[in-house]
Amino acid sequence: MIEAKNVNFYYGNFQALKDISMVMDDHTVTAFIGPSGCGKSTFLRLFNRMNELIANTRLTGECLVNGENIYQKSIDVTELRKKIGMVFQKPNPFPQSIFENVAYGLRVDGVKDKHFIKQRVEESLVSAALWNEVKDKLKKSAFELSGGQQQRLCIARALAISPSIILMDEPASALDPISTSKIEDLIHVLKKDYTIVIVTHNMQQAARVSDKTGFFMLGTLIEYNDTRKMFLNPEKEETQNYITGRFG
């Protein structure tokens, strides 16, 4: 379970998130939608503490994963990130082979067992629906894959260290319709084992893949509801306007 309690977040003096509270349940897909610059990525990145890499930022409120405040001192941030995988907007494979990309998380975790690594790499690639396309060229550079394949490779890479939560920041925005639908199918399958939070600009995509949807605007969470309800019968006028393309 992921929970945000009265979260405020600042880039310098600019407040990007305003008093956000919400709960995301296990084994559900939660989608964040909202106009560009409303703080979806910022909010998502709070949960694997990625925003810490940016200088001059400040957080108030609490972010909890399974009831534990992930910003308390006793938390080891590398351990936290091993439990919470992330897939980025643009595919960002490492300048290494396909195999090494997927094995990366295991290797930095200190896993030495070659047999286990091999098995885990294969499992992850199968889960990411990429295995059949790359099984004969695992030694090839990851850069030789197409954009869609690279993105699924990045998903496989995140799956390989067996996280319980996967954060996805517009994972299909750089992809063609076929690759996009492959990734959406994948999300459906992964839902059984993982808790997934996905940011998307594509309303249909949010409607297709998610169980719950949060609508953000200018740093505030306007509405958070079951996806079906949200798209058929939203409670807030702003949501209605945004979904029907009449926001502004």
Span 130-159, contacts to another protein by CB under 8 A? 139-143, 154, 157-158
Angstrom distance (rounded) from CA 32 to CA 212: 9
Looking at the Cβ atoms of 156 and 221, the one nearer to ligand ATP is 221
Binding mask 97-116 for another protein (x = CB under 8 A): xx-x---xx-xxx-------
CA distance 124 to 129: 9
Q: Per rule CB under 5 A, is residue 200 in the interface with Mg ion?
A: no
Interaction residues for ligand ATP, span 22-51 (CB under 6 A): 34, 36-42
CA 191, chain centre distance (Å): 12
The residue written with tokens 């949807």 in the block is: 213
Residues that bind ligand ATP (rule: CB under 6 A) add up to a total of 12
The candidate with the shortest Cα–Cα distance to 171, out of 151, 190, 185, 191, is 151
Q: CA of 88: how far to CAs of 14, 50, 57, 141, 152, in Å?
A: 24, 12, 21, 19, 11
Q: Residues 34, 85, 219, 234: which binds another protein (CB under 8 A)?
A: 85
Which residues share a beta bridge with 195? 165
Any idea which residue has 């910022």 for tokens? 42
> Which two tokens mark 168?
């996805």
Q: How many CA atoms lie within 13 A of 88 on its CB side?
A: 9
- How many chain residues touch Mg ion (CB under 5 A)? 1
Instruction: Give which of Mg ion, another protein, ligand ATP, none residue 37 binds (C-beta under 5 to 8 Å, depending on kind).
Output: ligand ATP
3-state secondary structure (DSSP) of residue 96: coil
Site membership for Mg ion, residue 195 (CB under 5 A):
no
Find the shortest distance in angstroms from Cβ 64 to ligand ATP: 20
- Compare residues 145 and 222 and give the one whose CB is closer to another protein: 145
Helix (H, G, I), strand (E, B) or coil at 55: coil
Number of residues that bind another protein (CB under 8 A): 34
Residue pair 32/224 in contact (Cβ under 8 Å)? The answer is: no
Segment near ligand ATP (CB under 6 A), from 8-16, 63-71, 78-86, 114-122?
8-16
* From the list another protein, Mg ion, ligand ATP, none, partner contacted by residue 116 (C-beta under 5 to 8 A by kind): none
Footprint on this chain of ligand ATP (rule: CB under 6 A) = 11, 14, 16, 34, 36-42, 54
Footprint on this chain of another protein (rule: CB under 8 A) = 48, 50, 53, 55, 78-79, 81-82, 85-86, 88, 90, 92-98, 100, 104-105, 107-109, 139-143, 154, 157-158, 161
